[in-house]
Chains A and B, each alone.
Chain A
Amino acid sequence: MKRITIVTVLLACGFLAAGTPLFAQTAAPEPPANWFTGKASLLLLGRDDVDSAKFVEYREVPKGISLPVLTLQGGYKGNDFGLFGEKVAQTDQRFSGYANVAWFDVVFDYNQIPHNMSFNGQTLFAETSEGVWNMNATLRKALGDAVDAVPTTARTYPFYADLLAPTIASTNSIDITSQRNRGEYAFEFGKSLPFDLSFTYMRETKTGYRGASGGNILGTVTSTVDVGEPLNETTQDYAIRAAFNFKYGNAYARYNHNVYNNQVDALVIDNPFRATDYPYTAATAPGGPGQVRFSTAPDNAADRGAFGAILKFPLQTRITGDLAFGQWTQDEAFLPHTINSVIFSTTGAPANSVSTLQQKSLNGKINTTSVNLGFSSRPIPGLGIRARYRSYDLSDKSSKWVITGDVAGSPDRSWGVVTPAADAPFGHATANPYEHSTRRFDAQVSYDFWDLNIEGSVHAAALERTYREATSGNDNGWGLAAVYRTSDWLRIRAFVDGSNRTAEGETLYGFQMDEAERDSTRAGVQANITASKFDFGLTYDRRNDDYPNRPDRIAVTSGAPTPGAKPIPGTPSGLLGASYDSFTFDVGFTPNERTEIGGYYTYEKNASENQWSTTTAATATPPLSLNNLLNYKGTDRGDTFGATAKFDIVPEKWTFSFLLSHQKVDGLMDITANETGTFYNPGRTTLIPPGQGGAADIVDYDDTKLTTVVADLAYAVAKAWTLSFGYAYEEYSHADAFSDGNTIFPQSVLFFLKGNDGGYKVNVAYAKLNYRF
């Protein structure tokens, strides 16, 4: 009996013990109380010297020792944290991380982005203070006197080249570089509250030079000068967001305040040919300022408040809505009309004084309103329906004034009276308070036919604008899409859609491209096949925009159609059409767990067609406008190859990886014109004979080649240590007919920095030690 009892009990217990993991209740395991993991890499790198800024446009590639990766993650008594560092202590370093503690979470990201746009530019000037570029006053007077001493007809390029040779030989070097540092920090307090609450702060600073800038200086010598545009800006953003999540949805509200501050108020540049201000009296005595002053971006701010909600119902039914209001403000004090001391307004007031200003600042204000409403549902299996309404309004409430005079027409030389016109009630068309609004509705219906999903869609939008030629228009369209998927081996997606934008309004010359009538079509197909160890992908995308009914040219006198003139048939002008085609083939091969190989090829073609003509048609035979019709077809064709490979030569011991990327873009400006037509610059008296110039294709139209190769061999020295050796090669070339071969003084009288952002070749070798715990 005892034996039976003991055996029975033991059997029962054994049975129960065996069944316990499956059928007994267990609590969810507690995570480890404390855990830490991390990674650090030490890199030793050597490379060729590179003169071009393009190699380090948005990055730093330091020689010697660097710390490319430093990460640490862990949990301590239920609190998690993570710190991820990249390129530590470099100009392009980045740190991000998070911490989740009992009652709040914090997430941050600090990102430094160098902008190296060109190196070793040459400038006639020296920056004596931020944004102020000076040249020796004695030299400037001497150059101006030398020009004044010769008749106009003698002021040729060879004359200026000789005169400026010593000055050009002693130019100053300038690198156009800048640094953008951006930090974003988010604090979330939802854990201890019945709703989500978060605060976000962003601060970004930009310092250095934005790019090559400067401009024209009208005078006896009308020159254009290039300097570095100063950059010293700070942007800050403060935001608060609250959200309440409940069983049937969630609701949220958000407010943010964004402030932009520019520490540099103006860009000031000396006139190379004038040391003092000379008055403009006539075309024969054009005068000219001793300095010019350009405005910089004014301080501004933006506020935005938004609230919204989503309601959830069965059958994946959702109703969403959100409403946002924004206001952008700018009220920085205006600079005076000019820096030239010898210009006076019609009332005799000095134009270089703020007293001449009709208004001391803009008191700029733009209001925005955005509404989004949405509905989606899958009411029966396989059926999906969606509808959206969206509106966006932008209205300019700035304190505009009727401009009666300024120095805009003859910058820094003379005062000009400004007279309002019907299309420019504030004096200049660019002073108009441009406003626009869009109302858009779109709906989609889709149905699953077994593994095939078909979707049909429509959209309708109404556009309204103020102060533009096309004051209203519609943009209506349709779409059809199909998605087919069978298990994991075949996926096909295809779509086609079309839309038509109309334009209504009054126009003298035809609607501008961005508001004109437009027919757009888009189509695409993507197929992915997975067969055994191979993956294949084929993708095609196309976008085509036609601009029908572009305006025929019309004779113009003083900026307005000549009285009695009629449009000249057969001369549609402006942008006629634009298209983009892209085709890609991908292949992947994974023969076993130790090998991965992939590659792709993409072909792209961008194309656009413009047309232009003179307006002096009238009675000539053939009509001169048709004789002088110029058709421009700009294209660029891109071929992009990529390949990657990874081999576990000895699993968990030796790994080899390889990357190749190559892109070649071939641009062309194909010009079609009648060479016996008129291709003259003002002042030229003879036509260009055929075969001696005239319209010619521009073949170096921003052509580029970029090739990058990286090979890496890694060896797992120990469980936590990996040592890798690598080699990389990169080559870049760029060809631009407009700029290549130019010196800093390519034409009369234009000065450009001509910094180096061109081609390069570089070899890189490195050794990297990784530690992971």
Chain B
Amino acid sequence: MRRTLFVMTLVAAFVVFGGANAFAQASAPPATWSVTDCQGCHDKAFGPGFSHTKHAGLDQSCAQCHKNVGAHAKAQLAGDTTVPAPSMKNLKATQINETCLSCHEKNKQSNYLASMHARRNVACTTCHSVHDAKSAKGLLKTKTDAETCFTCHKAERAKSLRTSHHPVREGKMSCSSCHNPHDGATPKMVKGDSINELCYTCHAEKRGPFAFEHAPVREDCVSCHEPHGTNHPRLLTQKMPNLCWNCHLTGSGHFGSGDNFSTEKGVPVAPPGAPSGFPTVNSRFVERSCRTCHVKIHGSNHPSGAYFVR
């Protein structure tokens, strides 16, 4: 009897202390969950794309991001289907973002909550996949960040195929070369204090300052260029000379004399013996157009470069 009581006490002690430890654990921060705990049921979530990432090595691993993992596990074992699964798919964008930003709200992501993406309820998991990333960097759902961006930004996808383009579709640049998709401070999320300063990171030869400045160039590169892609040379928004005629309405030289009138679609050269006035293509329209002579259109540092021809 005494021995039986002793054994029962011992068993009870194991159960109580073991269980108490678990209950105590349950009320403490969820430090008990590791990859192996969840892998038995969720093996697909632990492929090579996840297991070698920093997320897999976190102290709390799954429970770091997925709330109520313990309740879910208990319910599954008990066959209780009423307890909601801790899937991120069931959460709103603001809840998902709060989870990710609990660790990642610094550096380039520090201002995400004020960003246009956050304002449009874009969740971190819209673009990123912790478990099944396809990209080499950034844990994106697609192989390149351009593919991710193009899932929403359709117009830019079409523009990237235009004949004059930045080398995005060749894989030499990406949307994130110019934009920080997490930024909430700068217009259009550009990675620079201004559009021009962003452009100068690759086109430093345009920075100057120059002895002679082309005013709209100094103010904003997109006055003349469309960086996502156009059908006109050099990423121009319009073909020359029409682009220049947006601003240059009059003045001395060839703009005051009607020289920019002649838009005839005629022959390049009048045939021999043609009468005076035979319609020919105006020289202002041929090949480099205005830039045939005004070669330093972004600014000239030549002491006699006031008209950007030197």
Contact = CB atoms under 8 A, between A and B. Distances in A.
Interface string B86-121: 000100001000100000011100110110000111
Looking at B121, B163, B204, B238, which has the most chain A CB atoms within 10 Å of its CB?
B204
Contacts of A580: 155
Nearest to B166: A58
Given A514-B216, A610-B242, A750-B287, A680 B293 contact: no
Contact of A370 (B194, B202, B266, B292): B194
A283 interface: no
Interface stretch (A23-31, A140-148, A716-724): A23-31
Nearest to A295: B302
A556 B35 CA distance: 80
The 9 residue pairs across chains A and B that have the minimum distance between CB atoms: A693-B279, A23-B22, A297-B205, A364-B209, A58-B167, A559-B252, A584-B154, A295-B302, A260-B204
B220 interface: yes
B193 A370 contact: yes
B258 interface: yes
The secondary-structure label for the interface of chain B is loop
Interface in B153-170: 154-155, 157-159, 161-163, 167, 170
B11 A430 contact: no
Interface residues of A, number: 215
Interface of B: 3-4, 7-8, 10-11, 14-15, 18-19, 21-23, 25, 31-32, 34-37, 48, 52, 56-61, 73-74, 77, 89, 94, 98, 105-107, 110-111, 113-114, 119-121, 136-137, 152, 154-155, 157-159, 161-163, 167, 170-172, 184-187, 193-194, 197, 200-202, 204-216, 218-220, 223, 230-233, 237-239, 242, 245-247, 249-252, 256-266, 268-270, 272, 275-283, 285-289, 292-296, 300-310
Looking at B19, B61, B162, B172, which has the most chain A CB atoms within 10 Å of its CB?
B172
A302 B207 contact: yes
A679 B155 contact: no
Given A432-B213, A632-B242, A688-B277, 17 more contacts: A12-B11, A157-B269, A224-B293, A295-B305, A335-B302, A368-B193, A374-B185, A428-B212, A431-B306, A444-B119, A551-B249, A669-B239, A680-B258, A706-B163, A742-B268, A747-B283, A748-B269
Given A679-B261, A684-B276, A692-B279, A604 B155 contact: yes
A21 interface: yes
A460 interface: no
A481 B122 CA distance: 14
A692 B282 CA distance: 15
Interface stretch (A127-135, A170-178, A209-217): A209-217
B250 to A, nearest CB: 5
Contacts of B136: 71, 82, 84, 96
A22 B259 contact: no
Contacts of B107: 196, 243, 252
Contact of B185 (A75, A372, A628): A372
A260 B279 contact: no
A366 interface: yes
A358 B211 CA distance: 12
B276 A685 contact: yes
9 contacts: A12-B14, A298-B208, A358-B303, A364-B210, A376-B184, A553-B249, A602-B155, A615-B250, A638-B231
Contacts of B35: 29
Contacts of B15: 12, 15-16
A328 B209 contact: yes
Nearest to A667: B231
Contacts of A638: 158, 162, 231
Interface stretch (A41-49, A271-279, A318-326, A762-770): A318-326
Given A374-B185, A615-B256, A680-B277, A628 B170 contact: no
A203 interface: no
Contact of A430 (B73, B214, B251): B214
A534 interface: no
A15 B208 CA distance: 78
A177 to B, nearest CB: 14
Interface in A1-59: 1, 4-5, 8-9, 11-13, 15-16, 19-29, 31, 35, 37, 54, 57-59
A294 B302 contact: yes
A316 B94 contact: yes
Interface in A591-626: 600, 602, 604, 606, 608, 610, 612, 614-615
Contacts of A338: 304
A574 B4 contact: no
A471 interface: no
B105 A312 contact: yes
A294 B296 contact: yes
A92 B52 contact: no
B269 to A, nearest CB: 5
A695 B262 CA distance: 7
Looking at B193, B213, B262, B304, which has the most chain A CB atoms within 10 Å of its CB?
B304
Contacts of B285: 738
B295 A693 contact: no
A38 to B, nearest CB: 11
B52 A73 contact: yes
A575 B247 CA distance: 7
A683 B258 CA distance: 11
Contacts of B247: 512-514, 574-575
B32 A26 contact: yes
Interface in A290-330: 292-295, 297-298, 300, 302, 304, 310, 312, 316, 318, 320, 322, 324, 326, 328-330
Interface stretch (A404-412, A498-506, A647-655): A404-412
A262 interface: yes
Interface string A315-355: 01010101010101110101111100000000000000000
A692 B267 CA distance: 12
A682 B260 CA distance: 11
A732 B169 CA distance: 15
B18 A24 contact: yes
A235 interface: yes
Nearest to B270: A157
Contact of B3 (A5, A26, A612, A636): A5
A530 interface: no
B111 A320 contact: yes
Given A446-B119, A558-B252, A574-B245, A365 B162 contact: no
Contact of A320 (B19, B77, B114, B280): B114
B231 A636 contact: yes
Given A364-B210, A638-B158, A408 B310 contact: yes
B239 A326 contact: no
A729 B109 CA distance: 41
Nearest to B279: A693
A553 to B, nearest CB: 7
A514 B223 contact: yes
Contacts of B305: 295, 408
Contacts of A696: 263-266
Given A612-B249, A698-B265, A4 B212 contact: no
Contact of B155 (A292, A584, A632, A669): A584
Contacts of B111: 310, 318, 320, 374
A737 B157 CA distance: 27
A467 B215 contact: yes
B282 to A, nearest CB: 7
A526 B269 contact: no
Contacts of A13: 14
Contacts of A284: none
Nearest to A559: B252
Interface in A741-760: 741-742, 746-748, 750, 752
